[in-house]
Amino acid sequence: MSNNQQSTNNSEQHPLLSIIIVSWNVLELLSSCLASIERGRGSLKIELIVVDSASADGTSQMVAKRFPWVNLIACSENVGFPRGNNLGMAAANGRYLLLLNPDTELVGDALQTMVAYLDTHPQVGLLGPQLLNSDGSVQSSRRRFPTMTTAFFESTWLQPIAPNSILDSYYMRDVADDETAVADWVMGACMMLRREVMAQVGGMDEAYFMYSEELDYCRRIKEEGHQIIYLPTAQVVHHFGKSSEQAVTTRHINFNRAKLRYFRKYHGRFAAFVLRLFLLKNYGWQLVFEGLKGIVGHKRPLRWQRVKSYWQVLRSGLRPAGY
C-alpha cells in the first residue's frame, strides 16, 4: 500500500470532529445536549466523548442506556473542567475538537458552520459561536483580555459603578452581536479548535479547576500566532451556570482563585497580591453589610446564608490556584 493510500484510509477511519463534554450532576441538561447533537450532526463524521466527574445523579447510567454510541469516561472524582477536557482531548481522534458544556443545546447547523469556517480560515486556531440565553436573547460571549483595571470592577461589587469605557472595551460592546470578529478570548461553553493547535500549546491548565481556564487557553493559543474568532453565524443555547449553582460558596472561591491565578501568571506576583487584598476586603465589607441587614430583620434567612458563605470565602484566603 502506498503512503498516499494509507493516509487516505487513516483519514476515512478517523472522525472529522471530536466533541468533548465534561459533566457533573446535570443529567437532564446533558441528555438534552446529546439529543441536540444527534439532531444537528447531519452527515458530519463525529465522535462524542462524555467525561463524567463522578456525578451522583445517574449520569453515567443514563449515557450508557440512552446514548450507547457515546464514548463515556467515568471518573471516580470531580476532576474539574480543565482536567476533564484534557482527558477528553487525549482520547479524541478528530481533526477538530469541540469543547462543549453539558448545559448547552446546538441550534440548527452550528456544527457544520463552525467546521466550514475552520476549513476555509487556516489562520484561525480556535473559535466560539454566538451563545444564546434560554429565552433566545444573545449572551455576551466574546472578550478582550482583562487589564488590572478591569479586574477591580468586573464581577465584583464595584461593577455597577464601573466607568462605561472599561467594561465596554472588555465585553467588546463596540462589536455588533451579529458581526464575525477577532477576539482575544471566547467563553468556554462552546469552543472549537484544531487538533494541531492543541498539540502545539498542550492541554488546559489544570490548576484552574473551574473558571478562567478558557481565558488562559485562548491567551496561550493567541501567543502562538493563531486567531481567536467569534462566529455568530453558528448559534448555541447556553443555560448558564447550571453546574456551578449547585455549590454557591465553592463557586465564589473557585472563581476568585482562578482570577488570581490568571493575574499572577500573566501580570506578576505583586499584581495578584494587590488584587487578592482588594477581593478579600470586598468580601469582608459584604459580610458586615449583610450581617447588619440580618440584624434589622430584612430577609433574615437570606442574609445569614450570605454571611456564612462570605465567611467561608474569607477563611479560604483566596490564594491563587496552583500557587
Is residue 68, in this structure, part of any structural domain at all? yes
Same domain, 239 and 278: no
The one-letter amino acid at 319: R
Same domain, 204 and 229: yes
DSSP 93: -
**Structural domain count of the chain:** 2
Task: Kindly write down the DSSP assignment for every residue of 51-65, as one continuous string.
Answer: EEE--SSSHHHHHHH
Q: Which of 203, 226, 243 is the last residue of a domain?
A: 243
Q: Within a 10 A sphere around the Cβ of 15, how many other Cβ atoms?
A: 16
Task: Kindly write down the DSSP assignment for every residue of 8-77, as one continuous string.
Answer: HHHHHHS-SEEEEEEESS-HHHHHHHHHHHHHH-TT--EEEEEEEE--SSSHHHHHHHH-TTSEEEEESS
Contact between residue 118 and residue 111 where contact means Cβ atoms under 8 Å apart: no
Structure confidence at residue 25 (pLDDT)? 92
Structure confidence at residue 303 (pLDDT)? 84
Q: Within a 10 A sphere around the Cβ of 77, how many other Cβ atoms?
A: 8
Same domain, 27 and 141: yes
Same domain, 232 and 268: no
Question: Parallel, antiparallel, or unpaired: how do β-strands 71-75 and 124-132 relate?
Answer: unpaired
Q: Which of 217, 243, 269 is the last residue of a domain?
A: 243
Is residue 155, in this structure, part of any structural domain at all? yes
Predicted model pTM: 0.90
Q: Which of 243, 274, 298 is the last residue of a domain?
A: 243
Is residue 252, in this structure, part of any structural domain at all? yes
Same domain, 150 and 258: no
Cβ-count burial of 43 within 10 angstroms (0-12 exposed, 13-18 middle, 19+ buried)? exposed
Q: CATH no. for residue 198?
A: 3.90.550.10
Instruction: Tell me the residue range of the domain where 263 lies.
Output: 247-316
Same domain, 169 and 303: no
Structure confidence at residue 251 (pLDDT)? 86
Is residue 322, in this structure, part of any structural domain at all? no
Same domain, 201 and 270: no
Same domain, 192 and 281: no
Same domain, 70 and 215: yes
Is residue 323, in this structure, part of any structural domain at all? no
Structure confidence at residue 55 (pLDDT)? 92
Is residue 138, in this structure, part of any structural domain at all? yes
Is residue 321, in this structure, part of any structural domain at all? no
pLDDT digit string (tens) for the chain, length 323 residues? 444 444 444 445 789 999 999 999 999 999 999 999 999 999 999 999 999 999 999 999 999 999 999 999 999 999 999 999 999 999 999 999 999 999 999 999 999 999 999 999 999 999 999 999 999 999 999 999 999 999 999 988 889 999 999 999 999 999 999 999 999 999 999 999 999 999 999 999 999 988 999 999 999 999 999 999 999 999 999 997 655 555 678 888 999 999 999 999 999 999 999 999 999 999 998 899 888 988 887 778 888 888 888 899 899 999 887 77
Structure confidence at residue 14 (pLDDT)? 84
Structure confidence at residue 245 (pLDDT)? 52
Same domain, 238 and 277: no
The one-letter amino acid at 25: N
Is residue 131, in this structure, part of any structural domain at all? yes
Same domain, 261 and 295: yes
Structure confidence at residue 243 (pLDDT)? 54
Same domain, 230 and 270: no
Identify any residues that bridge with 21 across adjacent strands, giving them in sequence order.
Answer: 50, 100
